Structures are given as C-alpha cells and as structure tokens.
Amino acid sequence: MPQVHSDTHAVSATERQRPKIGLGERVRQRRVALGLTQTDLAGARFSKEYISQIELGKTRPTPDTVEYLSSRLSVDPGYLAHGVSTEDRARVEAMLARAEAHAQAHEFESALEVFADAKTAVAASGSADLSARRLLGEGWAMMEEGQIREGLDVLTKARELVDAEQLDDVIRAEALFKLGVARTKLGSTHVAISLLTEAHKLLDQLPLAADSTRAQVLGYRSVCYQRVGDIEAAREDAERAVELSEQLGDPRVIGYSYMQASLVAEREGRFVLARTYAEKARAKYEEAEDQFQLGKVLNNLGFCHALLGKNDDALASFTRAYKIFLDAGANEWSGGAISSIASLYLETGDPSKAEEQARYAIELIGDEAVDPEQVGEARLVLGKALLAQNRLDEAAEALEKVKGLFESVRATSNLSRTYVALGDLARARGTTDEAAHLYRHAAELMQDLRF
C-alpha cells in the first residue's frame, strides 16, 4: 500500500492561491493588448454592453461566443475559456485520464502515482476544473487503497474548491457522491445518505449524460438504506438504479445495480429473485472482464444458493470468489470469501470447521480493514461457531467485540443479527430474561416489532 502523499493538501492550497484570472479578465487583457475598444471587439455581432458584461464576469459566454471572441482576439479558444492553451490542456487531461483508467482497473497504487505526477502540470494550468478533477480522482484512489480518512480529507478539499470556484453541477454532484461513499465506508451512514441525496437532486436536473453517476448514487444510497434497516427505500433506489443502468449499456454500471437489487431482494426474503439478480450481475461483470467485481458478486451469489438449499453450488461460488481475490492479491476480500465459507459450514452443522475457517478469514482480513463490516462478519461467524460448540465464555468475548464494531459503524442490520446471537448465548446460559431482552432489542433495531 503506498504512503499518503504528504504534499497533497499543500498542492491543492497552492492551486487555490494562484491569481484567479477568469475568462472575462483574459478577454479584457487581450483586448487592451491589441488596442481594441469594447465596440471594436463586439463588431456587428454583439453590443458593447454585452462585451462589458463578459469582461466584468457577469455573463458567461457560450462556446460559440468564445470561438468568435478568440478569432477576434487572435488567441487560442482553450486559453480564453480555461486559461491554458488547447494543446496544454489536452496534455494535462491525458495524464488525468491515464490515472483514472488505472483506478477503474483497480490499480490504485499506479493511479496514485500518476495523479502525483500530474500535480505540477495541473497547478501550472491554473484550471479550477482540472484541479478539482485531480483531487477527486486522487481522493477516490486513496480511499479504495484503504486510506479512507486521508482520502476523505482530499475529497473534502475537492468539494471546497468546487464550491469556491462555482464549478458546474456535474462535478459538484461527483464530489458529493464520492464524499457520500467515503462516509459510508466510515460508518457515518446518515451523513452519507444526506450527501448522496444532495448529489441525486443535482443529477436529476442534468441531462441524460449524468445517468451513469445517478445510477451509482442510487446504488450506494440503497446500501445505506439497507444498513439502517429501511428496506423499502433501499428497494426503490435499487430498482431505479437497475432501470437507469439498463438504458446506459455499461456492463459495470449494470452489474453494480443488479448486485444491489440482489442484496435488497435477499433481505426481503425473495431468494429466487435475489439469485436471478446476482446471476445477471455475474454475467455483466464477466462481459466487462472485471474480475474484482466478479468476485464480489460470486460471494453474494453463494449466499443466494445457500438460502435456497443449494449448498454445493454455494460452496463452489464462494470458492471461485476466494480464488479470484487471491489471484488479485486482495487479502481482505479473500478473507471475506473464506468468512462466507465458514458461515456455510456453520449453517450445515460443522461448527468446528466453521471456527477454523473464520479464524483464517480474520487473519486474511487483518486489523486495518477497508470495510470494517468484512471483519465483523468473520468475527460474528466465529462467535456463533464457538457458541455452537458450547464454549460460552469464548463466544461471549467474540460477540462483544463484534457488537462494539457494528455499533461503531452504525451497521443496524448486522448489529441486530449480533443481538440475536447474544440472545442465543444468554439462553444457553439459562438467563432467559436477558435472552428475551436481547431478542427484543434485535427486533427493535430491524423495525420488525415496536415495543
């Protein structure tokens, strides 16, 4: 894992401290340098007053108007619009596109290296939108690499830049979306829902070109709603994400939407539908040749098979997911797949094997998991496996750790399952009143019952 780039924030500050010369001022400076009056520049096409409004920054010209003004001023239209020539801007954009391609391929270390290499060129361009694009890309790559809080800091700087420079709603929505994902990963679920909802409102006002981001926003918000137990809202977002993504034709976006729809259907007890969605997601990720996401959906598909009593199919799906993650060097996700296998052993009556696999999963995931719920799941299986072997003190210690972890990330549904396990532990100890209290609390968390 690469180290956090210590000068990231300093660079973003430097970019913001550059003299803010807008399009209007560039027009004025070039006009004065050529000895033209505002009337001369306006020609027969515009009024002197309109040119004055542009120079004062009170009116933003259309691309056609920028082309006209650049021809009258004998200057590159890219420089007039962005403060950098079209050729120089294209060179910077190519660097950022290369970094973004690495990130999309889950090569986050390489992405961070290219984003770092691009910082000088981006700063030299003086372009606020390129600076924001770099910060958003770098913050996302940091977050995916496991540096979640550091990534959140960079994404926050990006949002500040977007707001300060009043950049367009597309990039503003992207900033809100990525901040929402970061907050989701840190367990600030209600904050994440607020950010994702704000992003969705902006995207709803934009043309169809923004539908890809809109589908992803809905997918992640569905995750948040599942976490807080609002399954109806989660289903609405997942279904809308599927509808939007199917219109786009991007197999990655479609696959992600199907995967979220599968998770919601599973939570609702609609296991055949959950499996159908998971199989559709698998096909899309295979089409996109996205092995990492394929591993994730195979893990989910395994649970669907298990819930339908297809244990051999479940084990095959979990094992394939494990091998994919292992080949990719993604130990944390390999551990997640092993945790799924441990859960299968537990459900099929082999708690000793479940314990063995759960301990291996915890070892693979490690103490600094990108997704705390991954290690929480493995520890929950371990606690339940110990309980099934009547090792009550060990089970109590394991389950208390799990409860603390799920409380810290506000994972309501997982916390409810933990309280059920603690209730089972209390019942095994003969403390029926405590068991009843724990079961009651589990039900309240899931909003299944009101007491």
Residue-wise pLDDT for 117-139, tens only, equals: 999 888 877 788 899 999 999 99
Task: Indicate if the pLDDT at residue 174 is higher than 60.
Answer: yes
CB-CB contact of 164 with 132 (8 Å):
no
Q: Which of 7, 26, 16, 23 is nearest to 123 (CA)?
A: 16
| Residue percentage of the chain with pLDDT more than 70 | 91
CB-CB contact of 362 with 372 (8 Å):
no
* Rounded-to-integer distance, Cα 251 and Cα 258, Å: 10
Task: Indicate if the pLDDT at residue 142 is higher than 80.
Answer: yes
What are the structure tokens assigned to 135, written together? 């910060």
DSSP letter assigned to residue 159: H
Buried residues in 334-366 as b, exposed as e (16+ CB within 10 A) = bbbbbbbbbbbbbeeebbebbbbbbbbbbebbe
What is the structure's pLDDT at 449?
34
What is the structure's pLDDT at 11?
39
What is the structure's pLDDT at 16?
42
What is the structure's pLDDT at 10?
39
Residue-wise pLDDT for 148-157, tens only, equals: 899 999 999 9
CB-CB contact of 275 with 310 (8 Å):
no
DSSP letter assigned to residue 2: P
What is the structure's pLDDT at 273?
96
What is the structure's pLDDT at 410?
73
What is the structure's pLDDT at 351?
96
Residue type, 447: Q
* Rounded-to-integer distance, Cα 192 and Cα 177, Å: 9
Residue-wise pLDDT for 293-351, tens only, equals: 999 999 999 999 999 999 999 999 999 999 999 998 888 899 999 999 999 999 999 99
**What secondary structure does DSSP assign to 208-249, as a single string?**
GGGHHHHHHHHHHHHHHHHHTT-HHHHHHHHHHHHHHHHHH-
Q: Which residue has the higher pLDDT, 352 or 170?
A: 352
What is the structure's pLDDT at 209?
57
Q: Which residue has the higher pLDDT, 267 or 372?
A: 267
What is the structure's pLDDT at 399?
95
First to last CA, the chain: 48
Residue-wise pLDDT for 413-443, tens only, equals: 788 999 999 999 999 999 999 999 999 999 8
DSSP letter assigned to residue 368: S
- The crossing angle, in degrees rounded to 10, of helices 211-227 and 169-185 is 30
369: exposed, middle or buried (Cβ count in 10 Å: 0-12, 13-18, 19+): buried
Confidence of residue 448 (pLDDT cuts 50, 70, 90): very low
Task: Indicate if the pLDDT at residue 407 is higher than 50.
Answer: yes
CB neighbours (10 Å) of residue 327?
A: 11
Q: Mean pLDDT score of the chain, rounded to an integer?
A: 88
Residue type, 389: Q
Residue-wise pLDDT for 19-56, tens only, equals: 456 788 889 988 888 899 999 999 989 999 999 999 88
Q: Which residue has the higher pLDDT, 15 or 209?
A: 209
The lowest-confidence range among 68-77, 237-246, 342-351 is: 68-77
* Segment 67-91 mean pLDDT: 81
**Sign of the C-alpha dihedral computed for residues 104, 108, 110 and 114 taken in this order:** positive
> What residues contact 450, with CB distance under 8 A and at least 6 apart?
444
**Predicted TM-score (pTM) of this structure:** 0.71
Domains of the chain, earliest start first:
22-82 (1.10.260.40), 330-451 (1.25.40.10)
Confidence of residue 18 (pLDDT cuts 50, 70, 90): very low
205: exposed, middle or buried (Cβ count in 10 Å: 0-12, 13-18, 19+): exposed
Q: φ, ψ for residue 323 (rounded to 5)? A: -65, -40
Task: Indicate if the pLDDT at residue 178 is higher than 70.
Answer: yes
* Segment 243-257 mean pLDDT: 90
